Amino acid sequence: MASNLIREWNGIQQFPPSTQTKLLELLGKFKQENVSSLTILVMGKGGVGKSSTVNSIVGERVVAVSAFQSEGPRPVMVSRSRAGFTLNIIDTPGLVEGGYVNDHALEMIKRFLLNKTIDVLLYVDRLDAYRVDNLDRQVIKAIADSFGKGIWSRGLIVLTHAQLSPPDGINYDDFFGRRSEALLKVVRLGARIKKQDVQGSAIPVVLVENSGRCNTNDSGEKVLPNGIAWIPNLVKTITDVVSNGSKAILVDKKLIEGPNPNDRGKLWIPLILAFQYLFVIKPIQRAIKQDIAKEEKPLWELRDMGLSQRQF
């Protein structure tokens, strides 16, 4: 039985007490709102820190991390349970292979997710990458084409390697702001999200530092250069996304095998055209014909048709 595979979330005890308290408080909130489980999907390019982030959240080394090798070819779901709440977190292979979007990996992820509901998407990239390019846009587009662009209203951007000194003397928060803006722009373009679609619920961007050398504060919590204890901050942002009023994404057969979910409305186009032809254009043509038939013809036309009685 699947439930046998859900282990107790002991990794929480690895966190310093103040982080544990904050996490248990957030889990308590879920319980109050009758949310008993949460499924988080982690996606992004290869080598950006997806697996490391999964390990950091769970508090155990549950998935393999590798600097050089390409990742495991299959998605992996890790489930942990604590105080009546179950966390499912799905690590996936990188979405880029040889400079292109890896459609094979994406297909495999879709099939793995069949009949699962995605509550949150963590889109992982690095803070210390200075540029965004067309490939980033293609990856975002591929995610939106596979799961519908609605998945982005359940999405948050995670930036790893967050313990850095920005280049060119830029202040840390300015650097973070500029990197976030660049990525958010690529997400809006790639997923074709209109400004009005994201009203009030902009996609959050969260910083993560998976390295064991991450600085800590007086309570032993891992903190970023801006002083933020990032694990509770990440989990808090996840809970905000869950309660932002948008719908979770059910991955059903229709979503996997059907056409691009963003094109669904377009299937009506031929029907609408047929309707217009039969019920709008045809009646107008008929009315014009009748009008012409009823019209009194000028004498010269009748004469030309040889119908006039009068001789000129």
Asked if 67 interacts with ligand GDP (CB under 6 A), we say yes
In the complex, the smallest distance separating the C-beta of residue 49 from ligand GDP, rounded to whole angstroms, is 3
Select the residue interacting with Mg ion from 71, 136, 145, 209 (CB under 5 A). 71
Contacts with Mg ion, 204-233, as mask; x by CB under 5 A:
------------------------------
The Cα 109–Cα 112 span in angstroms is: 5
Is 146 annotated as ligand-binding? Answer: no
Residue 46 partner contact from ligand GDP, Mg ion, none using kind-dependent CB cut-offs of 5 to 8 Å: ligand GDP
Is 209 annotated as ligand-binding? Answer: yes
Residue 52 partner contact from Mg ion, ligand GDP, none using kind-dependent CB cut-offs of 5 to 8 Å: ligand GDP
Residue 58 near residue 80 (C-beta atoms within 8 A): yes
Is 81 annotated as ligand-binding? Answer: no
In the complex, the smallest distance separating the C-beta of residue 208 from ligand GDP, rounded to whole angstroms, is 6
Select the residue interacting with ligand GDP from 13, 36, 66, 201 (CB under 6 A). 66
Select the residue interacting with ligand GDP from 52, 102, 153, 180 (CB under 6 A). 52
Select the residue interacting with ligand GDP from 20, 24, 47, 303 (CB under 6 A). 47
Select the residue interacting with ligand GDP from 58, 71, 88, 118 (CB under 6 A). 71
Asked if 51 interacts with Mg ion (CB under 5 A), we say yes
Is 104 annotated as ligand-binding? Answer: no
Candidate ranges 20-28, 63-71, 245-253, 263-271; the one touching ligand GDP (CB under 6 A): 63-71
Q: Is 286 exposed, middle or buried (0-12, 13-18, 19+ CB in 10 A)?
A: exposed
Select the residue interacting with ligand GDP from 96, 203, 208, 229 (CB under 6 A). 208
Q: Is 47 exposed, middle or buried (0-12, 13-18, 19+ CB in 10 A)?
A: middle
# binding residues, ligand GDP (CB under 6 A): 18
Torsion of Cα atoms, 56 then 59 then 60 then 62, to 10°: -50
Select the residue interacting with ligand GDP from 11, 41, 50, 190 (CB under 6 A). 50
The annotated binding site for Mg(2+) is made up of: 51, 69
The site for ligand GDP (CB under 6 A) is made up of 46-52, 65-67, 71, 94, 160-161, 208-211
